[in-house]
Amino acid sequence: MQKLRRKLIYLGFTGLFCLAIGLLLWYLGITESAWISILISLCIGWSINLTFILAEKLIAQYMPAYLVPIPLTAFGLTIGLLISGSILFREPLNFFTDNYLALIIGVFFSIVGVAIFSTHYKLLSARAELAKAEAQRQAQQKLLLETELKLLQAQIEPHFLFNTLSNIVGLIRQTPEAAEQSLLNLTTLLRYSLQSTRKALVALEEELNFVRAYLDIQSIRIPERLQYEFRPSGLLEGNSAQDSIRQLQLPPLLLQPIVENSIVHGIEPSESGGQVVIEVSLRNNKLIITITDTGVSISEHAPSAKNNDLSGTGLGNVRQRLHASYGDAANMTISENSPCGVVVQLSIPVNNDEH
């Protein structure tokens, strides 16, 4: 449909050009009648034009591209002269035996016009093909990114699951009640994990509830060494002031790897344990999520954790997934907390339609 539209536009521009040539020839006194001059010019221009549209690809199969316009122009010119001779004088061969001056001038300008608009048409076609190729490339890139996201999420699921099951095994003999509660929490977590990781985006409320369930499991495992807090305090208690923030969308399982890193690499190695604080705010159309722990500092982490490059399985995937989902519009920064611990901050663009 788009190709047909371009061809009709091409014919229209050619017609306007031929109309102008016909009027010019009449104004200069080369032809006696304006309408005769216009008719001849249109017959020649449109005949050459249609010949290019209908036969260019066919002729191009049998000769070099630079020679193709010669037979097409000659054939179209002949047809145009036969048609105009038949209409004006009821003699198809009239222009081949008489009125050479008007014929030569009209043919010259008509061919120039066809050459101009033929080039323009080819440019439009080339641009359309480029746009189509770009659309296909973007579709393939989107599919690749979606596949990459699913693979990254799939890496997190077993990593988290095995760690949690290992923790529960350690609780069974010592505190069976705590192990039972942890299993109930794990059931909740797995249900969310299986549902959310099949989605591209989930509500912030769901993600925070998932993190809270995970923190409950960890606080049972190390009850006197881990405290946690969500800010603002009413964020998960149905406070209407935070309703719009709770419904903001983000990729699933984005926060849990950061919280896990804070506990495993920050609080557990610390002799006195520590606290994890999850703070949520909205600034300049960006969702800002800050996860702070009071465990050991970055300098006390493994060497790979230094220089803002905490790149374990969990945090490495978070960084990659942010880039795959939002490009440079989202980022994750890691810094020292004072007097001890680590601060991880996510900045995620917000769709204005969401709030």
Which range of 194-208, 263-277, 313-327 scores highest in mean pLDDT? It is 263-277
* 254 shares its domain with 129: no
pTM reported for the whole predicted model? 0.55
Backbone phi and psi for residue 246, each to the nearest 5 degrees, phi listed first = -65, -25
Check residues 267 and 64 and name the one with the higher pLDDT. 267
Count structural domains, the chain: 2
* 182 and 231 in a common domain: yes
Min mean pLDDT across 213-217, 225-229, 231-235, 296-300 is at 296-300
Can you give the residue range of the structural domain that contains 35? 2-134
- The CATH number linked to 183 is 3.30.565.10
8-64 pLDDT, tens digit per residue, is 776 777 777 777 777 877 777 766 778 877 888 788 878 887 887 788 778 878 887
Residue 116 in domain: yes
User: Which of 107, 134, 161 represents a domain boundary (last residue)?
Assistant: 134
Q: Kindly state whether residues 62 and 206 are assigned to the same domain.
A: no
Per-residue pLDDT, 149: 54
185 and 83 together in one domain: no
* Burial class of 30 by CB neighbour count within 10 A (0 to 12, 13 to 18, 19+): middle
Give the pLDDT mean for 200-215: 89
Which of these three, 77, 110, 134, is where a domain ends? 134
> Is residue 162 in a domain?
no
